[in-house]
């Protein structure tokens, strides 16, 4: 506790060289009051965001799960999400709305957190944060949108296509297996049955839209080609007959929680990866890595980006690889350009010849030395020429000062 009080006291001490001496000193109790107030504001904003998320939960679920459902339908699987617990659907419905509400309220929560932190920062430190917070948020949002709208559909399509590529092995028993399992269905009891091509098979209509009128006391069967579903209408109910590729070895069981966690983690990974230019620029500005060093490491950077693109690429084809590698390479090049701008700006600021060419401006209050604002009295006469060395005016004979004589 004593260390924390000392830290806060040091943070609030006046900075005589930087012009922040007018900041008020906050005690430890004042910081606790500020923290309590900001937490209350953050909770109120979170409550409003969660309420809006639950109100629009249907729209949010349709937006989040539509890519997965479209991929399932394209792969020939039923476009439904499963759960294990009895109240799993209700819990996941509420959790989706609450998480979406927290994401909606996150700018307000971050703002309240920043207001608490800003109370212990100097003005120049707050300016640095204001300079980088906007581009950082924009790059993070671009990374999330890049994954959700471009990478995620290709990734889900690859997963469904992989299930089709892995074929079902042959289940015809060999001689030893016939001894273990017996003849099975290939026995004399099935010898009288016709072969598949010789049998008269029922015909099921293929439609692009479900019918709306059905005969009474009859079951109607049809195949919806748009939804890729086999449906049956009995009485007043329309049932779906779950279908899947016949020769596929793997069958997905789409889970609500697994899909949502996967999307959130990948959005976070891509959002943080888009912060590469800002990280490079900050490292250059604080002097950790210079722009020439970044440029000299470009071969290793390209290799690292290529390996990262291979790991993140959902499909092994060149198009998907380039769709990830090219944006990451463009971000690295953008970071190099920003590092060069920061370095040139720093060199111009530190160049004394450039400072001499700066236009004259009136001295600000912060430009005075630390002791000058509290000094009172006549200005310093050391730089003024000595009046005794000046030539005497002709109307003052003998060099006497007649300033007391009346005009």
pLDDT tier at 39, thresholds 50, 70, 90: very high
Q: Which 8-state DSSP code applies to residue 363?
A: P
In this prediction, residues 13-26 reach a mean pLDDT of 48
Are residues 324 and 151 in contact, defined by beta-carbon separation less than 8 angstroms?
A: yes
Closest by Cα among 295, 397, 385, 383 to 338: 295
Task: Tell me the pairing of strands 237-241 and 229-234.
Answer: antiparallel
Q: Which comes out higher in pLDDT, residue 52 or 393?
A: 52
Average pLDDT on 68-87 reads 83
Q: Percentage of residues in the chain with pLDDT exceeding 90?
A: 4
The pLDDT tens digits of the residues spanning 364-386 come to: 444 444 444 444 445 555 455 55
Question: What tokens were used for 188?
Answer: 């004399």
Q: How many CB atoms lie within 10 A of CB 230?
A: 16
So what's the pLDDT on residue 217? 82
pLDDT at 13: 45
H-assigned helices in 119-183: 123-146, 152-165, 175-181
What is d(CA 325, CA 317) in angstroms, rounded to the nearest whole number?
Answer: 12
Laid out side by side, the sheet with 229-234 consists of: 206-207, 220-224, 229-234, 237-241
Element holding 240 (H helix, E strand): strand 237-241
* The pLDDT of residue 12: 47
Query: Does the pLDDT value for residue 193 go beyond 50?
Result: yes
Confidence of residue 51 (pLDDT cuts 50, 70, 90): very high
pLDDT for the residue 30: 78
More confident position, 326 or 125: 326
Listed ranges 144-148, 346-350, 369-373; the one with the highest mean pLDDT: 144-148
For range 379-397, the mean pLDDT: 51
The rounded distance, in Å, linking the Cα atoms of 375 and 364 is: 16
Quote the CA–CA distance of 130 and 120 in Å, as a whole number: 15
Q: Which residue has the higher pLDDT, 394 or 114?
A: 114
Lowest mean pLDDT among 77-86, 243-252, 386-395: 386-395
pLDDT mean over 302-331: 79
Bridge partners of 248, per DSSP, are 167
Buried b (16+ CB within 10 A) or exposed e, 23-40: beebeeeebeeeeeebee
DSSP state of 147: I
Report residue 256's pLDDT band, with 50, 70 and 90 as the boundaries. confident
Write the DSSP symbol of residue 13. Answer: S
> Residues with Cβ < 8 Å from 25, sequence gap 6 or more?
9, 12, 13
Q: Write b or e for each residue in 288-322: b if 16 or more Cβ atoms lie within 10 A of its Cβ, otherwise e.
A: eeebeebeeeeeebeeebeeebeebbbbeeeebbe
Q: What does pLDDT average to over the chain?
A: 75
Mean pLDDT of 201-228: 86
Please tell me the predicted confidence (pLDDT) of residue 340.
83
pTM: 0.64
Separation CA 66–CA 70 (nearest Å): 6
Instruction: State mean pLDDT over 328-344.
Output: 84
For residue 21, pLDDT over 50 is answered with no
Give dist(CA 381, CA 361) in Å, integer: 23
Distances (CA, A) of 281 to 135, 136, 270, 302: 12, 11, 19, 18
More confident residue, 217 or 185: 217
278-287: Cβ within 8 A, 24+ apart? 278/132, 278/135, 278/136, 278/139, 278/335, 279/335, 280/332, 280/335, 280/336, 280/338, 280/339, 281/335, 281/338, 281/339, 281/342, 282/132, 284/338, 284/339, 284/342, 284/343, 285/342, 285/346
Share of residues in the chain with pLDDT > 70 (%) = 75
Give the model's confidence band at 55: pLDDT under 50 very low, under 70 low, under 90 confident, else very high: very high
């Amino acid at each position: 506790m004593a260390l924390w009080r000392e830290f806060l006291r040091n943070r609030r001490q006046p900075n005589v060289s930087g012009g922040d001496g007018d900041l008020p000193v906050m005690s430890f109790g004042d910081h606790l009051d500020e923290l309590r107030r900001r937490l209350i504001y953050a909770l109120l904003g979170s409550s409003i965001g969660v309420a809006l998320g639950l109100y629009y939960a249907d729209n949010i679920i349709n937006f989040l799960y539509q890519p997965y459902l479209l991929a399932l339908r394209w792969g020939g699987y039923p476009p439904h999400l499963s759960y294990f617990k009895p109240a799993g659907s209700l819990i996941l419905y509420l959790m989706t709305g609450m998480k979406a509400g927290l994401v909606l309220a996150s700018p307000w929560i971050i703002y309240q957190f920043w207001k608490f932190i800003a109370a212990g920062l100097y003005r120049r430190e707050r300016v640095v944060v204001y300079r980088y917070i906007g581009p950082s948020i924009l790059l993070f949002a671009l990374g999330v949108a890049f994954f959700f709208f471009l990478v995620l559909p290709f990734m889900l399509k690859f997963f469904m296509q992989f299930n089709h590529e892995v074929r079902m092995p042959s289940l015809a028993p060999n001689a030893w297996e016939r001894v273990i399992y017996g003849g099975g269905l290939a026995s004399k009891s099935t010898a009288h049955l016709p072969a598949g091509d010789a049998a008269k098979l029922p015909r099921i209509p293929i439609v692009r839209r479900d019918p709306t009128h059905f005969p009474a006391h009859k079951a109607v069967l049809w195949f919806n080609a748009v939804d890729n579903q086999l449906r049956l209408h009995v009485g007043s109910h329309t049932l779906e007959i779950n279908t899947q590729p016949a020769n596929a070895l793997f069958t997905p069981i789409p889970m609500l929680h697994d899909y949502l966690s996967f999307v959130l983690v990948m959005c976070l990974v891509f959002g943080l990866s888009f912060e590469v230019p800002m990280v490079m620029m900050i490292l250059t500005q604080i002097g950790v890595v210079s722009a020439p060093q970044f440029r000299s490491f470009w071969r290793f950077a390209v290799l690292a980006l290529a390996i990262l693109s291979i790991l993140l690429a959902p499909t092994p084809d060149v198009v998907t690889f380039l769709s990830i590698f090219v944006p990451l390479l463009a971000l690295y090049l953008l970071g190099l350009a920003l590092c060069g701008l920061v370095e040139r700006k720093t060199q111009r600021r530190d160049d004394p010849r450039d400072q001499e060419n700066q236009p004259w401006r009136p001295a600000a209050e912060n430009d005075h030395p630390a002791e000058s604002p509290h000094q009172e009295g006549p200005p310093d006469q050391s730089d003024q020429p000595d009046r005794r060395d000046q030539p005497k005016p002709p109307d003052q004979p003998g060099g006497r000062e007649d300033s007391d004589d009346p005009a």
